[in-house]
């Protein structure tokens, strides 16, 4: 009986130590907004356009009624870079993490627009290898851009979704959940993710 108790205590200590190391590793994760790609409005690609002249007459005929209605569906991929700076010792594998959930909130110009989560786990290896997490954003363009002239709206859209788009007004709040041998562990607080620096460590 004593041997069984000692074994159980040893297992608890081992698992507890491993979980603690995993949590410490998780707290060092770094996040940054990398880019916006695949921007579309009404299935019209914006990513390959730089100026108003790049829109065809057919594009404008398609966009005009939606603009007039105030409902202009748009979608794009927000690419978030994440780094795991933990350095593996070649023996332990607790520095290789798996994010099982990543609840996120998308903000534009400091206004929360929508929220979501990743669709599948993300494996992160140590040694600061950058991993890109693609987050699909779908919204009514009027939620983030309010212009009463279609040309003004398209110019603004090109700034955020055309060639060389700006992500300066975009931010993301995330709260990673990592898988461990004793269950899932949630990051203690939300991380604000921006485009000009890595956040979270």
Q: In the structure encoding, which two tokens stand for residue 169, read together? A: 């007004």
* pLDDT tens track for 128-155: 678 899 999 999 999 999 888 999 999 9
Residue 139: which H helix or E strand, with range? strand 130-140
Nearest in space to 102 (alpha carbons), one of 138, 140, 131, 139? 131
Alpha-carbon gap, residue 113 to 192, rounded angstroms: 15
Which architecture, in CATH terms, is 2-193? Sandwich (2.60)
Beta bridge partners of 35: 79
Q: In the structure encoding, which two tokens stand for residue 200, read together? A: 């979270």
Alpha-carbon gap, residue 53 to 50, rounded angstroms: 8
Mapping DSSP to helix (H, G, I), strand (E, B) and coil, where does residue 128 land?
coil
Q: What is the pTM of this model?
A: 0.80
Indicate the domain borders of the chain: 2-193
* pLDDT tens track for 35-79: 999 999 999 999 999 999 999 999 999 999 999 999 999 999 999
* pLDDT tens track for 92-121: 444 567 889 999 999 999 999 999 999 999
Q: In the structure encoding, which two tokens stand for residue 193, read together? A: 């993710």
Neighbours of 50 (CB within 10 A): 10
Alpha-carbon gap, residue 72 to 182, rounded angstroms: 46
């Amino acid at each position: 009986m004593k041997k069984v108790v000692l074994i159980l205590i040893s297992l608890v200590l081992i698992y507890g130590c491993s979980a603690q190391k995993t949590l410490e590793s998780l707290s060092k994760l770094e996040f940054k907004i990398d880019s916006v790609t695949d921007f579309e409005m009404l299935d019209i690609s914006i990513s390959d356009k730089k100026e108003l002249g790049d829109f065809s007459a057919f594009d404008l005929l398609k966009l005009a009624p939606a603009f007039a209605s105030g409902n202009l569906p748009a979608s794009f991929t927000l690419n978030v870079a994440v780094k795991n700076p933990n350095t593996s010792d070649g023996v332990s594998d607790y520095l290789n993490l798996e994010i099982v959930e990543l609840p996120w909130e998308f903000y534009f110009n400091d206004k929360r627009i929508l929220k979501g989560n990743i669709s599948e786990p993300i494996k992160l290896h140590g040694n600061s290898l950058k991993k890109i997490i693609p987050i699909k954003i779908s919204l009514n363009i009027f939620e983030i851009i309010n212009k009463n002239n279609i040309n003004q709206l398209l110019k603004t859209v090109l700034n955020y979704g055309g060639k060389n788009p700006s992500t300066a007004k975009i931010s993301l709040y995330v709260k990673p959940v990592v898988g461990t041998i004793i269950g899932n562990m949630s990051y203690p607080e939300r991380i604000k993710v921006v485009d000009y620096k890595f956040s979270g460590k």
